[in-house]
């Protein structure tokens, strides 16, 4: 019915959407959208290092994103600058260093557009195994860390008092984000990863009555966006990655229409987690 490449793209994209849904919810609850961007931008530095030292691309991106996360945690502890200022510095520095390094490597042919916007139609069966294998791992980790992550999102002091180690939960969350970005880069690209993290979760928030339902809904909405975006891209001959984001945006706009009752997620997740991360 469809070409093999389209079926592979669909399977990989849906796997990715299911994985990033719950993570996206935590990004929204913790007000860490800018953090997601910073991690994604650091991916290009990972690409440059992998080309320079002939390393595995995914491993290289994961290591750089993890190092950027740890740098952020260390700089936050020093408290000299606000978190959003630190994120701005790290994000643009990592992206720019990556671009400068790539420019110096004249012996390497690099498809920058491919890395920035991904190429979901070029995924191989090995990529699908990676997406689903890595995705299952990430989802198991989220289920295992759900209570400490949620508690530290709602009230870090209370989570600390209950012995749930919110700092450690936060570190694990950042490492999971680094892993997802490493997996997602080839499929949706550096610039579109954050959209897939945030837009489905923001759409799910409108209908969810509990944090768990919001996490599941975010995955479902992400999968719908991937499906709609890919079919749209096939029909209108538009680039696949941006088409998926446009489909996600369309679903978000639909969710704003005044029908049904708004979910009670706000009562379940109080925005007491102070400050802008």
Per-residue pLDDT, 162:
85
How many domains does the chain divide into? 1
Answer yes or no: pTM beyond 0.85. yes
Q: Determine contact, residues 255/207, Cβ cutoff 8 Å.
A: yes
Q: Decide if 84 is inside a domain.
A: yes
Per the listing, tokens 């680094």 go with 178
Q: Decide if 26 is inside a domain.
A: yes
Residue 272, pLDDT above cutoff 70: no
Coarse DSSP helix, strand, coil percentages of the chain, rounded to the nearest 5 percent: 80, 0, 20
Q: Decide if 277 is inside a domain.
A: no
Per-residue pLDDT, 240:
92
Could you give the maximum distance between any two Cα atoms of the chain, in Å?
A: 58
pLDDT category of residue 262 using cuts at 50, 70 and 90: low
Residue 105, pLDDT above cutoff 80: yes
Task: Note the pLDDT tens digit of each residue in 79-88.
Answer: 888 988 999 9
Task: Note the pLDDT tens digit of each residue in 29-55.
Answer: 988 888 989 999 999 999 999 999 999
Q: Decide if 237 is inside a domain.
A: yes
Q: Decide if 273 is inside a domain.
A: no
Q: Determine contact, residues 155/272, Cβ cutoff 8 Å.
A: yes
Q: What percentage of the chain exceeds 90 in pLDDT? A: 68
Task: Note the pLDDT tens digit of each residue in 159-186.
Answer: 888 888 888 888 999 999 999 999 998 8
State the Cα–Cα distance between residues 205 and 174, nearest whole angstrom: 22
Q: Which domain holds residue 160?
A: 4-268
Q: Determine contact, residues 119/240, Cβ cutoff 8 Å.
A: yes
Mean pLDDT of the chain: 89
Q: Decide if 48 is inside a domain.
A: yes
Q: What is the CATH number of the domain that holds 189?
A: 1.10.3470.10
Q: Decide if 274 is inside a domain.
A: no
Per-residue pLDDT, 110:
83
Q: Determine contact, residues 221/203, Cβ cutoff 8 Å.
A: yes
Q: Decide if 275 is inside a domain.
A: no
């Amino acid at each position: 019915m469809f070409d093999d490449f389209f079926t592979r793209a669909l399977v990989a994209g849906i796997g990715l959407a299911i994985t990033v849904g719950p993570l996206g919810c935590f990004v929204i609850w913790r007000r860490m959208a800018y953090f997601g961007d910073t991690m994604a931008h650091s991916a290009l530095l990972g690409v440059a290092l992998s080309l320079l030292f002939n390393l595995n691309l995914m491993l290289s991106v994961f290591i750089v994103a993890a190092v950027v996360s740890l740098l952020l945690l260390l700089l936050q502890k020093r408290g000299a600058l606000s978190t959003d200022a630190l994120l701005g510095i790290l994000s643009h520095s990592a992206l720019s260093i990556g671009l400068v390094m790539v420019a110096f490597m004249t012996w390497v042919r690099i498809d920058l557009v491919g890395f920035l916007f991904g190429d979901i139609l070029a995924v191989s069966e090995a990529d699908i195994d990676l997406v689903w294998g890595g995705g299952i791992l990430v989802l198991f980790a989220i289920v295992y860390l759900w209570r400490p992550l949620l508690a530290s999102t709602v009230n870090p002091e209370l989570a600390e008092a209950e012995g749930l180690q919110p700092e450690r939960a936060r570190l694990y969350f950042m490492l999971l984000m680094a892993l997802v970005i490493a997996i997602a880069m080839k499929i949706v690209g550096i610039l579109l990863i954050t959209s897939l993290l945030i837009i489905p979760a923001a759409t799910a928030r409108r209908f969810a009555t509990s944090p768990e339902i919001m996490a599941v809904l975010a995955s479902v909405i992400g999968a719908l966006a991937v499906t709609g975006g890919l079919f749209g891209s096939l029909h209108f001959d538009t680039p696949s990655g941006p088409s998926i984001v446009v489909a996600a945006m369309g679903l978000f706009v639909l969710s704003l229409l005044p029908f049904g009752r708004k979910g009670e997620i706000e009562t379940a997740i109080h925005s007491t987690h102070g400050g802008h991360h």
